Amino acid sequence: MRLDKYLKVSRLIKRRTIAKEACESERVFINDKVAKPGTEVKVGDIIEIRFGDKSVKAEILSITEHVKKDEAKEMFKILD
pLDDT digits (tens, 9 = 90+) for 55-72: 999 999 999 999 999 999
Backbone angles phi, psi at 59, to 5 degrees: -100, 135
Q: Which domain holds residue 32?
A: 3-79
pLDDT digits (tens, 9 = 90+) for 16-49: 999 999 999 999 999 999 999 999 999 999 999 9
Residues 6+ apart with CB under 8 A from 16: 4, 5, 7, 8
Name the domain count of the chain: 1
pLDDT value, residue 80: 74
Contact (Cβ atoms closer than 8 angstroms) between residue 53 and residue 71: no
Question: Which pTM value belongs to this model?
Answer: 0.92
- In angstroms, the Cα distances linking 72 to 5, 24, 44, 52 are 13, 24, 16, 24
pLDDT tier for residue 10 given thresholds of 50, 70 and 90? very high
CATH number where 37 lies: 3.10.290.10
- Whole-number Å distance between alpha carbons of 69 and 37: 22
Residue 26: beta bridge partners?
Answer: none
